[in-house]
Each structure stands twice: as C-alpha cells, then as structure tokens.
Amino acid sequence: MNFKITVLPGDGIGPEIIDQAIKVVDAVCRKKGHEPQYTRGLVGAAAIDDSGDPYPEETHAMCMESDAVLFGAIGDPRFDNDPKAKVRPETGLLAMRKKLGLYANIRPITTFPSLIHKSPLRKDLVEGADFVAIRELTGGIYFGRPQGRSEAGDTAYDTCVYHKYEIERICRLAFDFALKRNKKLTMVDKANVLATSRLWRETMQELAPGYPDVEVEYMFVDNAAMQIIQWPKRFDVLVTENMFGDILTDEASVITGSLGMLPSASIGLHTSVFEPVHGSYPQATGKNIANPLATVLSAALMFEYAFNLPKEAWLIRQAVEASLLAGIVTEDIEPLNPASTSEVGDLLADWIDKSNI
C-alpha cells in the first residue's frame, strides 16, 4: 500500500519522539512492502513562532489531504507561565481537533508483563488490566462559549455545552467497541450535578436497548477516579465527556507503569490523528531521554485504524515488548541504566528488520 502521512512533531520532545516513530514505521513498511510518503507541518508553539498561528491553514490542508496524521506533542512553558498570552500552543491542538472533526479519542490502557513492577499499584491489581477509554474530543467545556473574563477582570467563566447528536455519535462508537470486546460499557458522568451529564445519561439510556448484548453501567466521575485505581480490571470500555476523559486517562496511565507508554487515536469526520497521551515534557527537550514508546504505539494504532493493517500494528507491539524485555528502555522506566530515546528507536527498527514475522 501507499500511504500519505502528515507528520506534526510539535513542541518540546515532540520532534525527538516522532523521529523514533518514523524509524519504526519505515521498518514496518520495508518489511511488509508498503510505501509511506511523509509531509511535515508546523503546529503549536513552533507554528506560533513561524506565523503567529498555532494551527496554520497550510497545516490543516496537509492533514486533510493525507491518509493519517502522526502527531508529537504540544505545549511550551513560555506560554504556560504567561496567563495573559493572546495565542497559546494548545489552541492549535483544539483547532486541529475541531477542524478535522475528531470527536472521539481512543486511549487503550493495557499492561506489559515486563513493566508490571513499575506500576505504583500492586501487581495483583494491575496484572491483566485491559480497557479502552473513549473520550469525547470536540465538545464540552473545552469548546463551549461564552468563555472569558468580566470587564473588571475579577470573574472568569467557561461553559460546558453538549448537543444530543454529539453524545449519540460517541456513545454509538463506544457500543461498537464494546461489541468487539467484552460487551461491558461504563459511562462516566456527573449526572447528580451537571445538566450536560443528565443529557448524556438520557441519551445513553435511549440507545442502550438497541445494543441488547452490551451491559451498560453508569458511574459518577469521582467514583470512577477511585475505581480506576482500586480495581482497574473491572473496566472494559469506558466512555465519557471531554474533560473527564482528559483527567481520567492521565490517571489510568499510571496503571501501565509510565505515562510515556500510553498511545491514542483521534478519529472522526476527516483524517485521523495518532498521538501520545503525554505532553511536550519541556524539561527533557533536546536531551534524547524521553520515552518514545507512546508515539511508537500510536503509530501501531495508525496501522490498525487508519490503514486497516492489524498485522503491522501487532508487529510494532511485538517490537515494543522485545525492547521492554531486553531492558532497552528510557529513564522513566529504568532510571539506573537508561537507554536514550534514539537508541530505543534504533532497537525497535532493527528488531523489526530482523524479525521473521
């Protein structure tokens, strides 16, 4: 197959981790006879520095014309520490999600046997934990208007808005995932307090009879935050609104042993975007120490979801497992004797080249 991939390295460690993912994609393509074609675009602080716009039209056009987008990270402390900044890198990420119609963010939470001991949770709690968090990505408080400050500046407001069609499409997608898995769907909301959550619950209750094989449960977000840590194995597919999903998936990442391991796929109306769950880790920028595995595993999701090539995805996951087993891992996992970002990338590509799968 020929694929057109738009590569958006973004900020901080983005360029370093993306380079490793590309090594891996190239290795898989060499092995399986595919032809990847890359175009690179600017997003985030890098794009602000270049043109003042964190998601320039040129980048958007590139994404629209490609088969998939591989995304690094976004965020820069220059803006974090300046609450008055007029443009922010994160605005670029939100604009990209909105303009590409990426209403669903899929975050699989799986454990790797060789990493279980790195989880701060007890082995018996995390061993075998395996669920998918589906986060609504283009609605809710991230996008609701009005948002801003009073004239006097002493009051600020954000608005959480959800339309029924937005809830319906994400819930249907979650049902489809549940049907392909263990047929258990947990909807997380705050229906005891929030009107939007009550619309979520009502919509889910209307849809559920259409999926008689799926067991649906409802859980308040505070309770979910507790249960993810206390009993992660109870979850199969979890669906929730934008901000709850943001928070719960960072929390869920500790189950895997490192936030540096968690990939994601954002899918919707146009081209899908594959990006690690973690941020731009500015302290590590340029040091060749960041863990590239979340981005590499995002590339695996790209093969699976964007190109419908599950074997290629599986090959990448095998390579990751091999690097973990060999202990060729970055300092977040192995502080005493760490490998560098690029060494991990080289090992993965080499493993794929030499594998006879």
**Would you tell me which residues interact with ligand IPM (CB under 6 A)?**
74-75, 90, 93, 246, 277, 279
Tell whether the torsion through CA atoms of 111, 112, 118 and 124 is positive or negative: positive
User: Which C-beta is closer to ligand IPM: that of 276 or that of 292?
Assistant: 276
CA atoms within 13 A on the CB side of 98: 12
Q: Which is nearer to ligand IPM, 240 or 323 (CB)?
A: 240
189 binds Mg ion (CB under 5 A): no
Comparison of 79 and 200: residue with beta carbon closer to ligand IPM: 79
- Residue 148 phi/psi, 5° resolution? 160, -150
Q: Nearest-CB residue to Mg ion? A: 246
Q: Angle CA(119)–CA(174)–CA(14) in degrees, nearest 5?
A: 50
Active site residue 189: no
Rounded to a whole number of angstroms, the minimum distance from the CB of residue 16 to Mg ion is 20
From the list Mg ion, ligand IPM, none, partner contacted by residue 7 (C-beta under 5 to 8 A by kind)? none
Contact between 275 and Mg ion by CB under 5 A: the answer reads no
User: Rounded CA gap, 124 and 343, in Å?
Assistant: 32
Site track 232-251 with Mg ion (rule: CB under 5 A), x = hit: --------------x-----
Q: Identify the active-site residue in 55, 118, 189, 190.
A: 190
Of 13 and 214, nearer to Mg ion (C-beta) is 13
> DSSP H helical segments within the chain, as ranges?
14-32, 45-51, 57-65, 77-80, 89-99, 123-126, 164-180, 195-207, 221-230, 242-256, 293-301, 310-326, 341-354
In whole angstroms, how close is the CB of 112 to ligand IPM at the nearest point? Answer: 21
Closest contact distance (angstroms) between CB of 260 and Mg ion is 14
CA 46 to chain centre: 20
Which of Mg ion, ligand IPM, none sits in contact with 284, Cβ below 5 to 8 A by type?
A: none
76 binds Mg ion (CB under 5 A): no
Q: Can 353 be counted among the known catalytic residues?
A: no
To Mg ion, the closest distance from the beta carbon of 246 in angstroms equals: 4
Say how far apart CA 70 and CA 302 lie, in whole Å. Answer: 8
Contact 262, 235 (CB under 8 A): no
Residue nearest to ligand IPM (CB): 90
> Which entry of 53, 76, 236, 246 is annotated as an active-site residue?
246
- Cβ atoms of 28 and 352 within 8 Å: the answer is yes
Exposure of 225 by Cβ count < 10 A (0-12 exposed, 13-18 middle, 19+ buried)?
middle
Pick 75 or 232: Cβ nearer ligand IPM: 75
Residue 190 designated active-site: yes
Instruction: Go through 180-189 and write b for each residue having 16 or more CB atoms within 10 A of its CB, e for each that does not.
Output: eeeebbbbbb
Residues marked active site are found at: 142, 190, 222, 246, 250
